[in-house]
Amino acid sequence: MADAPLPKDPGGSVEPAVPRREALVRLASMGAVLGGASLVTKLSYDAGGFGFQAAQGQRQVRDFTLKTDANAVHMAIARAPIGVTGLALAKPLVEKALAAMGGMGRFISRGDIVVIKPNIGWDRMPLHAANTSPEVVAAVIELAWEAGAKRVVVADGSCNDPHRCFQRSGIWKRAHALGADVVLPAEHRFRTMRLKGEVLDEWPIFTTLVEADKVINVPVAKHHNLAKFTAAMKNWYGVLGGRRNRLHQNIDVSIADLSTFMRPTLTVIDATRVLIRNGPQGGNIDDTRILNTVLASVDQVAADAYACRFIGQRPENLPYLAMAEERGIGTTKLESLIIREVT
């Protein structure tokens, strides 16, 4: 049976057919513990929040990170046996990883507007592992609602036609059913910002992805023919408008520039099925491998340093990791972090 056509509007957004109130009731019936949303929307969170204005000529940064207690877990890896299959695995893996991190309540406060940024770059089905698993995205949405989010937004700047990418990936359908706002890129949603990076100086930015209280980066781990590996840091290409392909001439520096600009509250890497070659677009199921793994981290650099091993890569082979570490964005020294592994 053919997929149902994706509803469109001139602004590029997809409004949820399920009202948010009804979606919350449905979640509550599944045992979710939900509370009333705050009556007052938080208008500023930190340097990354609403209304942030950099001084004239200064670098604009979207920093949504939280202060981390010295004894708090920096990273958690949840695994299921490789022989076990099925999309239903994704939710318990996300739940286990987040529980090991202290729970979603560590990151989301009641009344927050939460933006979830999956990889929805390609016109591919979930079996191709070119996009984030729709079930991983759905699990993150549910946990955000349960933590008291006032609004949950799912958005990405796709490489292929956004309407096809959002529909064929399965992410639109799952997010839509859970009451999240699904926002596609449209010209009026971009605003030129001063990144003042080595490669990215002034660039059009998808404002939906940077105007929030909290931002959760939810990439898929996979091979990339130029960057060698893509997950957390490379996923920020989705915030960019303009001619992104010209950045490929200096891809490592551009990735470091992006991770300097975008610093998420939390990173959740989907490694339930990974694309081990012919990335980033893939298209052949034989190029994928089932790993049944989800990684959560407060450090996007460390997350990539760990996750690159999922496709047989090593951190020292990825120059953008060292560049980001030199800039103080995160660390590749995993031995210095508190890491929990759960099964």
177 found inside a domain: yes
128 found inside a domain: yes
Tell me which of 40-54, 64-78, 169-183 is least confident.
40-54
pLDDT (average), residues 240-250: 89
Model confidence band, residue 1 (pLDDT cutoffs 50, 70, 90): very low
| Residue 80 belongs to domain spanning | 14-24+61-342
CA atoms in the 13 A half-sphere facing the CB of 260: 24
Residue showing tokens 């003042």: 196
Buried b (16+ CB within 10 A) or exposed e, 247-259: beeebbbbbbbbb
* Cα(275)–Cα(223) distance, integer angstroms: 6
Identify the sign of the CA torsion 26, 28, 34, 37. positive
> Is residue 158's pLDDT more than 70?
yes
6 found inside a domain: no
31 found inside a domain: no
* Cα(294)–Cα(291) distance, integer angstroms: 9
298 found inside a domain: yes
- pTM listed for this prediction: 0.85
CA atoms in the 13 A half-sphere facing the CB of 16: 21
Q: What is the pLDDT of residue 24?
A: 43
Model confidence band, residue 249 (pLDDT cutoffs 50, 70, 90): confident
33 found inside a domain: no
* Cα(50)–Cα(22) distance, integer angstroms: 28
266 contacts 298 by C-beta, under 8 angstroms: yes
Residue showing tokens 């957004």: 13
Q: What is the pLDDT of residue 47?
A: 42
End-to-end CA distance of the chain: 36
> Is residue 40's pLDDT more than 50?
no
Over residues 209-220, the pLDDT tens digits come to 999 999 999 999
Model confidence band, residue 17 (pLDDT cutoffs 50, 70, 90): very low
How many domains, the chain? 1
Evaluate the omega torsion of the peptide bond into residue 10 and state whether it is cis, within 30 degrees of 0: no
> Is residue 15's pLDDT more than 90?
no
Kindly tell me the burial class for residue 25, based on how many C-beta atoms sit within 10 Å of its own C-beta (0-12, 13-18, 19 or more).
Answer: middle
258 contacts 227 by C-beta, under 8 angstroms: no
Which region, left, alpha or beta, applies to residue 42 given φ > 0 means left and ψ of -120 to 50 means alpha? beta
Q: What is the pLDDT of residue 130?
A: 98
* Cα(73)–Cα(334) distance, integer angstroms: 12
198 found inside a domain: yes
> Is residue 180's pLDDT more than 50?
yes
> 117: Cβ–Cβ under 8 A, 6 or more apart, which residues?
154, 155, 156, 209, 215, 216, 217, 218, 235, 236, 238, 239, 264
115 found inside a domain: yes
Model confidence band, residue 112 (pLDDT cutoffs 50, 70, 90): very high
For residue 71, the domain's CATH number is 3.40.50.11440
Share above pLDDT 70 across residues of the chain, in percent, rounded to a whole number: 82
250 contacts 314 by C-beta, under 8 angstroms: no
* Cα(93)–Cα(33) distance, integer angstroms: 19
Kindly tell me the burial class for residue 154, based on how many C-beta atoms sit within 10 Å of its own C-beta (0-12, 13-18, 19 or more).
Answer: buried
> Is residue 86's pLDDT more than 70?
no
Over residues 121-144, the pLDDT tens digits come to 999 999 999 999 999 999 999 999
